Structure 1
């Protein structure tokens, strides 16, 4: 990753003055600072379609180019200290913990092999999606996705048409299934840290979640049954039949539990020990969590037999793609999030104003759509926080008098992460794993055609019923 080293070196030049640098003021920024982020999104959307060979070999350089297109002009116009602070904050506070967690989940889930040949019938596929939806709220959307996507793809390797199976998997397991507990998705975990009760989301979103999951599972079963009847299966099943179904690498289930415990610990443990990393505070619980996750990753690699990884066709390609693309996303998104945080006084003031009724009361329906549409393309965790604070930021009031508003913010952040490949981290990981296994996934806009045709109408009905 030579380009990451180059970026790190440029930031370290600013280190002596980073601690004194001011926080980024979104109200003073021009919308032009959002161009690198938009350019990176368009590159992810269009280059695999228009320049597939170039993108396959150089997507990391493209992401680095857009990151530098933000960082270098920003350093010239706003000073090296502030630019360095933004780089270090994106790296230390956001990107590194994010990648460490994803790597741990990717490695541990990749060390679990379900031996035996599951046959991807409509009933079995629907059952796997339903099971994944349940698991997602307890082990996170990323954990459930990494655990189940490989056996699901292998179960359908004798099907002629299977991209729709992965698309609905992203809808259900990688996003909507994680809406019932703070362990399910990062936005809800941030709400938990802000004071929202652990079971509040389950109590207030179970009907919304149940509606979405029931509708999606029914739609999937009907579509999968249609394809199964029309196309049948391949003459030869690539996965040979064996007696019974069994798990290999069972120790990784314990390691998955350790990952969940470490993440929960980092949210519950309050410590006054804070280290200043060039202007970015890093708490002791976060450091212990990250060190524990690295230890879990290494333990999984050490304990898992090579034959298990080979059977799972485990490779680092999907993880490398996610790591490089999200490095660019986390850096170029910084000015966009700052402009959103500026509220009504910032460049996106019209968005913030749209969620408030003329009498000053919040409009839950608008909060649902504003939070959701932004979460479709931005990091849904900070987007959740922006609208959480826009609605007052008082968890006691939001959980009671403004419960419909908090429910709308929570549902929008989690549900609409399914609208695009970059709406939630596991989306892109699932896509990369599927393509690595030979599944022809739709392009960025092709996937959005599916989400607009299936999810958006359901979100409209959801708004009418609950918000």
Structure 2
């Protein structure tokens, strides 16, 4: 996550000492967690598929510690020990995953631990990574040629186009397609961090508001019975409001910084001035459509065929989707000129980084999701109970609590929890409780922008930007940006719509 140049500047001898001390400290923490969690209450029951299932209602909040430590590692290590982090972030992710799984196995038994691990890997993590891999590979094969000069007008135009595309090709697809043109256009600029931050706000999150194709939570709602264009009609006004504010703020900020830099222009061929304006790898646009079609197919085709992998039902349509996505990625690699990818600054480090870090995140997040799914019977019952008063939904709380939890947890299951808390009947929610459904939808989509891990493409965009030399804010530094810019927008949304 740290740039290569900075990594090479680190003092190797000091880092070696730090590495040894860090490993010892991590071992002590793991032992402490084991001692703390072993006495905790737990319960496994037989589920619908004859396998063990975890009852999140009897989990204490202590089980969330490894997940919290995973997030703190992402926040602190790149600043405190960049060399160590650059070379060992995968080991750190594995450590925190094991810091949950080892005491979990002792307390619940091997059978339940294996079930939860397989359930998370095969129903959540592997499909997540395959989709990201396909989009990363395909979008990385599209290269805009010619002069792209990062003026305020061009940058704002890229953000606007990405925001409009995100609802129809997914936030991840739009982000992977446009982040490299944005970075290349601004390569000569001194101030460019703000462009990437606003890109995450708009293209990777807010832009995915209008259809179930835009963001996973809305796709889950579609599968639960929310009509395809209900989202378009009801989310249009809040999405347009937030996007307009953010685009206006960005244009003003970029205009000021562009002027402060002396309105720089790239030297020589730095922006591709030796090439005609055009596009290479057009076949990848067709393949992007194939990715969207594969995802839609998995949601709409119901063959009612599944394969049990240690009591975990892996459905045929999902297997077909993942195989199709891998085939599409393979076709992209075969059909795209390698030299075009090289000129597009394409390499595999960002997807490797995301795959390793999110393996730790998904595993250590298991108890947090289980507690959340337990609703008013779980450790977060006080939070769940805040969304209604004497049987009446409190829509502002639905918006803020769905959003706050979506900022740190997977926003798809978070959406589903509050969808079910509101009754779970799509027809009733769309008609008699439309504002409540709107609050849940907007919270899950908009507030995924609050942190780097709030939505799938956020971390990927950051990794690509850093890989190309942009010194992005730290985990907490990014939250300072989102807190100062996004939270006021969300307050306005609350006052206007809820």
TM range (shorter): over 0.9
2:391 corresponds to 1:360: yes
Aligned counterpart for 1:87 among listed residues 102, 111, 117: 117
2:284 corresponds to 1:247: no
- Tell me if the contact between 1:160 and 1:234 (Cα under 8 Å) persists in the aligned partners: no
2:486 corresponds to 1:449: no
Structure 1 partner of 2:342:
310
Task: Name the SS for the 2:307 alignment partner.
Answer: strand
Structure 2 partner of 1:283:
315
Structure 2 partner of 1:270:
302
- Tell me if the contact between 1:417 and 1:424 (Cα under 8 Å) persists in the aligned partners: yes
Task: Name the SS for the 2:345 alignment partner.
Answer: coil
Structure 1 partner of 2:35:
none
Distance in 1 between residues matched to 2:323 and 2:276, nearest whole Å? 38
- Tell me if the contact between 1:185 and 1:414 (Cα under 8 Å) persists in the aligned partners: yes
Distance in 1 between residues matched to 2:219 and 2:271, nearest whole Å? 39
- How much does 1:22 deviate? 2.0
| Residues 109-154 of structure 1, C-alpha deviations (whole Å, 9 max, x = no match) | 0001101121110011001100000100000000000000000000
Aligned counterpart for 1:119 among listed residues 149, 170, 175: 149
2:58 corresponds to 1:28: yes
TM-score, normalised to structure 1, is 0.95
- Tell me if the contact between 1:111 and 1:300 (Cα under 8 Å) persists in the aligned partners: yes
Distance in 2 between residues matched to 1:36 and 1:386, nearest whole Å? 22
| Residues 162-215 of structure 1, C-alpha deviations (whole Å, 9 max, x = no match) | 000000000000000001000000000000000000001111110000000000
Gaps of 5+ in 2: 1-45
Structure 1 partner of 2:23:
none
- Tell me if the contact between 1:141 and 1:178 (Cα under 8 Å) persists in the aligned partners: yes
Aligned counterpart for 2:184 among listed residues 154, 160, 176: 154
Structure 2 partner of 1:425:
456
Distance in 2 between residues matched to 1:195 and 1:373, nearest whole Å? 25
Task: Name the SS for the 1:275 alignment partner.
Answer: strand
- Tell me if the contact between 2:148 and 2:272 (Cα under 8 Å) persists in the aligned partners: no
Structure 2 partner of 1:373:
404
2:430 corresponds to 1:399: yes
- Tell me if the contact between 1:192 and 1:198 (Cα under 8 Å) persists in the aligned partners: yes
- How much does 1:346 deviate? 0.5
User: 1:292-371 alignment to 2 at 5 Å?
Assistant: 292-357=324-389, 359-371=390-402
- Tell me if the contact between 2:167 and 2:211 (Cα under 8 Å) persists in the aligned partners: yes
- Tell me if the contact between 2:149 and 2:265 (Cα under 8 Å) persists in the aligned partners: no
- Tell me if the contact between 1:377 and 1:422 (Cα under 8 Å) persists in the aligned partners: yes
Distance in 2 between residues matched to 1:276 and 1:243, nearest whole Å? 54
Moved more, 448-457 or 238-247: 238-247
- How much does 1:243 deviate? 4.8
Moved more, 423-432 or 230-239: 230-239
Structure 2 partner of 1:63:
93
Structure 1 partner of 2:226:
196
Moved more, 276-285 or 430-439: 276-285
2:67 corresponds to 1:43: no
Structure 1 partner of 2:292:
260
Structure 2 partner of 1:10:
none
| Residues 222-266 of structure 1, C-alpha deviations (whole Å, 9 max, x = no match) | 000000001132673633413541010110011000000010011
Distance in 2 between residues matched to 1:285 and 1:221, nearest whole Å? 44
Distance in 2 between residues matched to 1:343 and 1:258, nearest whole Å? 38
TM-score, normalised to structure 2, is 0.89
Task: Name the SS for the 2:207 alignment partner.
Answer: helix
